[in-house]
Amino acid sequence: MKEPELYVVIVGCGRLGSRVASELSGAGHSVVVVDRNEATFGKLSWEFGGFRVEGDATEMETLRSAKVGRADLVIAATREDNVNLFVAQVARRVFGVERVVARLHDPARQPVFAALGVETICPTLTAVEAFLARAGTAS
């Protein structure tokens, strides 16, 4: 059976954001990707059938253009932890989005994000898990 379709807003179209956007769009979800640099949209794969919004996600107008208020899931995936925290907080507190996940560069900041109700994914930590799995050691 097909999964219900989600409306997902992804902020940051770098190596990480562009892949997540392409995969989710390819899986049938409605995806809007936001980046202040239009050139990054070139990283999206041919699978991507969503919308692109060029703009600074720390400005409310940009988030409104992306219709963040209607999102089932917001992913803050820029390179900057502070931008991701800002976007995640605004999505939750101002727009009332229930599921917000932020990319976190510095694992030491995870408790702060958690205290503010923002789930995080840290590429370093997911890679650590993968290395430990190869060594046969569950973390």
Residues at the contact surface with a second copy, assessed by CB under 8 A? 3, 6, 8, 15-16, 19-20, 23-24, 27, 29, 73, 75, 77, 99, 101, 103, 107, 119, 121-132, 134-137, 139
Read off the amino acid at residue 138. Answer: A
* Nearest CB to a second copy, comparing residues 112 and 133: 133
Task: Tell me the closest approach of the beta carbon of residue 113 to a second copy, in angstroms.
Answer: 14
Neighbours of 44 (CB within 10 A): 20
* Nearest CB to a second copy, comparing residues 27 and 94: 27
Task: Tell me the closest approach of the beta carbon of residue 137 to a second copy, in angstroms.
Answer: 5
* Nearest CB to a second copy, comparing residues 37 and 60: 37
Read off the amino acid at residue 50. Answer: G
* Nearest CB to a second copy, comparing residues 116 and 121: 121
Task: Tell me the closest approach of the beta carbon of residue 61 to a second copy, in angstroms.
Answer: 26
The C-alpha angle with vertex 95 and arms to 92 and 101, in degrees rounded to 5, equals 35
**CA pair distance 34, 36, nearest whole angstrom:** 7
CA atoms within 13 A on the CB side of 95: 27
**CA pair distance 18, 11, nearest whole angstrom:** 10
Task: Tell me the closest approach of the beta carbon of residue 52 to a second copy, in angstroms.
Answer: 19
Read off the amino acid at residue 63. Answer: L
